[in-house]
Structure 1
Amino acid sequence: MISLFTVSFLGALDHTVVATSLATIAGDLGAVQQMSWVIVSYTLASTVVLPVLGKLADLTGARLIFLASLVLFLIASLLCGFAQDMTQLALARIAQGVGSAGLHLMPQTIIGEVTSPRQRPRVLSIIGAAFPVAILIGPLAGGLITDAWGWRWVFWINIPVGLVALALAVVAVPHIAGRSGRRFDIAGAISLGVTVTSLVLAAGWASGGASASGSAVIVAALVAILGLAAFIAIELRVDEPLVPLRHFANRTVLITIVLSTVIGVGLFSVVSYVPTYIQMAYRTSATVSGLVPIATVFGMLVSTLLTGWLSSRSGRYRVFPIFGTATAAVGLLVMALLPAGMPLWVPMVAMALVGIGTGSFMNIIVAVAQSAAARTDTGSVTATLSLVRQVGSTTATAVVGGLIGAGVTAGLPAALATLTPQAVREAPDAVQLQVADLYSSVLAPIFVGLAIVYALGVVAAVLLPDGRLSDEFEQHTRDAAEAAIA
């Protein structure tokens, strides 16, 4: 668990640390206009390879993919630090994104392989805590490292930590047998890769708001549709599909996929816009506005640990997604109804409810899906949940960003030449109130829409088959160990 948590934390921390240093990196390399590629290349690579790594884990063993991903991540981190221009950095970030996908996915897969269904919620919640912890400390760590040592150390700091994690993983992570001799679904991997790449690029271009990208968005969307159709046709014919479509025929697995999508769309799509909303609607500084997402993440951290422990103790799981989706829906609805100028603690409490609700079932649904799927599909079903969450987050973020940009631009007060937090703070009080009302009116329907997404999650959670996670695998492992000793 120490090994898996360390590696998960390393992968989660990398994204949040780099985001803080993005402006410094782009300025030093003289490529401010290409700054987004530092994030896009990483995100795109980590998304596309998720199903590939999940299937490879089923075929060759999760331990091998886990160690290979960690080695690739460390090598790519070294190359990122030595990059002399944006092209070199983007290419190194692609490799780093591939490695990061393995660091995120393989610990969950390994837990699914070596623990009983009833143990998994507790263990997955501990491993999953790496994500909210990284969000809490990543931006601060990135700023401190950049200011003290330079932006290159944002990448190089991964190496000493990663080498310790690698040594620990080699010793601690058990061997997990794969299904050697099975053919890998190359055609499915290519078609799904094209589909996901086209979808992510279309979402990214759409969120950019550039008029010249309109035709590119349409072409990318059409490619994504055709790619999806080709992927489904391939998966129906191959013996060893990359994403077994039987997952979608299993009611339990299907509902966990829906709930994973709800998380990506309902929370991750809006959390990055909340600080700007707080700065404008509540007229706070950038530092103070960060308290609201911190409340969200802290609520997520506490609830994921608590519900994981409760679920493992009782074996029950259905109540947690019902409670979580309902709580998050209430929090988002409160955000929609808040008038501008309320005390800051009010949106903090509302967004903390969203975090508490999401954390209540974020890792439990992974344990439930792994328990419902065949053991030979542990890697692929875990990857499928991560994939739909990532794609849902990316596409919904583009939609939310586009709606905010269009709404704010249309209602921008004439007295403001540019809309920045500093410009708003320097404007007269009447103009500040106009901007606050504008942001509240633009964000309110978005919060309502995301609350509806979580409300649909409540329906899905109610339809989740009730049951109790068993200790059968734990007993089987104990019997096998005793037999081996005898």
Structure 2
Amino acid sequence: MPLSALRLRLLVASLLVVSFLGALDHTVVSTSLATIAGSLGALEQLSWIVVGYTLAATAMLPVLGKLGDVVGPRRVFLISLVGFIAASLVCGFAPSMGWLIAARVVQGMCSAGLQLMSQTIIATVTTPRQRPRYMAIIGAAFPIAIVVGPVLGGLITDFWGWPWVFWINVPVGIAALVLALVAVPHIAPGVRARFDVAGAISFTIALVALVLGVTWVGDASLRLSAAVAFAVALAAFAVFFAIEARAQTPILPLPLFADRTIAACFALSAIIGIGLFAVTSYLPTYFQMAYRTTATVSGLVPIATVLGMLVSNLVTGHLVSRTGRYRLYPIIGTLLGAAGLFVMALLPVGLPLAVPMAVMAVVGIGTGSFMNLIFAVVQSAAPRDQLGTVTATTNLVRQIGATVTTAVIGGVVGFGVAARLPQGLDAATLTPQIVHAADPATQAAVAEIYRDVFVPVFLALAAVYALGVVAAVMLPHGRLSDDTSSIPVTDPQTQTA
């Protein structure tokens, strides 16, 4: 029988806290990186604090999604939460960078489990009609974490010390665990079957090699390593698809891609990663150089983008849950994203910062209108015993799109700026402070260079969103069901985790 209204509210509160904890852990560390590296005396390994976390989270998505289908999402969720708390404790006590990176890898794996199982649990205890509203509430954790994470990380580092950036997860996580033990119901797993170990291993090798290749390709000293990583990724993906074609219960069932609704949702998820997530990390640098703003002021543009995402995500989730109709929102959202990024390519430098803030807020509104909605739609089209798998794949294509495109944009910007800089300026040492201290003619020249380099980037991303319109139109007409007969829930107090 379905959960009571009170029980459902407790469940949503529990999943929201846990989702926010996982999302915040990814953003709160950013402002503490330099302090951590200096304290542990390993500046050359600084990037691995972030790369290790992201790599582990990405590689484990399909594995954990399938585990949720095989053993039940509640079990994977609770184990992931306990592991996340333990890894956070180890991070704060880490005596060396090696220990910290290892603990961050475990954190990333567990964070992926928390994110995936939160979405899967909601999918199994709600009707398709209810799902968009609750998905939007849980999904709000991500944009909020983007806004508050860096500020909170800086305050904790300055006043408490960097270990507390990780230790703060422990009391919050324990409180969330107690609430989860009460609120998260037992959900019967799908058909019991042998886990696809060979597929999981080959996919993990392929994805790790791909992410490493993308990470290394921008460093001239690591080009050979990047080439080897890409070769390993290509071979491992070939092995993976050969295994999946024959596996009885593959971690990535290839027939899913033949379903029109599922394929369209996968495409829309990838477009979010490619079209928006990849460029947001470069926006502050663009505005510091092209608009000659301070670092603090340049952060207003991505904040405006994220706030637009947050508002439209919540509004769209509420509207779809009321009517059941969903197809219009991805169409409008992709059109807004394409139009906003196209306008960004046309804006001349020197305009008041409020103009690009408004334009990128429109892109955020468009993206937020289907960012979490597609999870509800794709889950309604998937068999119940593959909810974890289809949810993981939707997250996976978004993450891969963001990772690969981030590296591509970084290469385009780096090489483009270096090739156009006037004599006397070195791209390797060029900082906003140097540019702001230069004469007005040099400042104007650098501003135009950055605009010229970013114009094709914005145009390409606008084209990606335009392709998203096609994917959105592929979604079938109809309404999400309000049928409660397929919600199998029992009291967790009568079941083991």
**TM-score calculated relative to the size of structure 2:** 0.94
Q: Which residues of structure 2 form unaligned runs of 5+?
A: 1-11, 492-497
Residue 175, structure 1, aligned to residue 175, structure 2: no
Write the distance in 1 (CA, Å) between the matches of 2:486 and 2:477: 24
Residue 310 of structure 1 deviates from its aligned partner by 0.7
Q: Paired residue for 2:79?
A: 68
Report if aligned partners of 2:344, 2:458 keep a CA contact under 8 Å in 1.
Answer: yes
Code of the residue aligned with 1:429 in structure 2: it is: P
SS in 1 for 2:301: helix
Matches within 5 A, 1:370-409: 370-409=379-418
Q: Paired residue for 2:126?
A: 115
**Aligned residue among 353, 360, 364 for 1:355:** 364
**TM-score calculated relative to the size of structure 1:** 0.97
Report if aligned partners of 1:415, 1:431 keep a CA contact under 8 Å in 2.
Answer: no
Code of the residue aligned with 2:321 in structure 1: it is: S
Write the distance in 2 (CA, Å) between the matches of 1:451 and 1:43: 26
Q: Paired residue for 1:367?
A: 376
Write the distance in 2 (CA, Å) between the matches of 1:283 and 1:238: 56
Q: Write the deviation string for residues 124-158 of structure 1: whole angstroms up to 9, x where unpaired.
A: 00000000011111011000000001111000000
Residue 354 of structure 1 deviates from its aligned partner by 1.1
Matches within 5 A, 1:83-98: 83-98=94-109
Report if aligned partners of 1:416, 1:423 keep a CA contact under 8 Å in 2.
Answer: no
**Aligned residue among 237, 254, 266 for 2:246:** 237
Q: Paired residue for 1:158?
A: 169
Code of the residue aligned with 1:67 in structure 2: it is: L
Report if aligned partners of 1:70, 1:103 keep a CA contact under 8 Å in 2.
Answer: yes
SS in 2 for 1:284: coil
Report if aligned partners of 1:321, 1:360 keep a CA contact under 8 Å in 2.
Answer: yes
Q: Paired residue for 1:484?
A: none
Which deviates further from its counterpart, 107-116 or 411-420?
411-420
Q: Which residues of structure 1 form unaligned runs of 5+?
A: 482-486
Write the distance in 2 (CA, Å) between the matches of 1:322 and 1:25: 44
When residues 114 and 478 of structure 1 are mapped into structure 2, their CA distance, relative to the original with a 3 A threshold, is closer
Q: Paired residue for 2:3?
A: none
Q: Paired residue for 1:262?
A: 271
Code of the residue aligned with 1:329 in structure 2: it is: A
- Matched residues, percent identical? 61
When residues 327 and 435 of structure 1 are mapped into structure 2, their CA distance, relative to the original with a 3 A threshold, is same
Code of the residue aligned with 2:472 in structure 1: it is: A
Write the distance in 2 (CA, Å) between the matches of 1:478 and 1:101: 24
Matches within 5 A, 1:72-471: 72-179=83-190, 181-206=192-217, 209-417=218-426, 418-471=429-482
Residue 410 of structure 1 deviates from its aligned partner by 1.0
Write the distance in 1 (CA, Å) between the matches of 2:489 and 2:375: 26
**How many residues are treated as equivalent by the alignment?**
478
When residues 343 and 182 of structure 1 are mapped into structure 2, their CA distance, relative to the original with a 3 A threshold, is same
SS in 2 for 1:269: helix
CA RMSD between the two structures:
1.4
Write the distance in 1 (CA, Å) between the matches of 2:119 and 2:253: 19
Residue 355 of structure 1 deviates from its aligned partner by 0.7
SS in 1 for 2:189: coil
Report if aligned partners of 1:278, 1:289 keep a CA contact under 8 Å in 2.
Answer: yes
Write the distance in 2 (CA, Å) between the matches of 1:72 and 1:290: 33
Residue 2 of structure 1 deviates from its aligned partner by 0.3
Report if aligned partners of 1:70, 1:99 keep a CA contact under 8 Å in 2.
Answer: yes
Report if aligned partners of 1:16, 1:138 keep a CA contact under 8 Å in 2.
Answer: yes
Write the distance in 2 (CA, Å) between the matches of 1:477 and 1:198: 39
Write the distance in 1 (CA, Å) between the matches of 2:432 and 2:453: 17
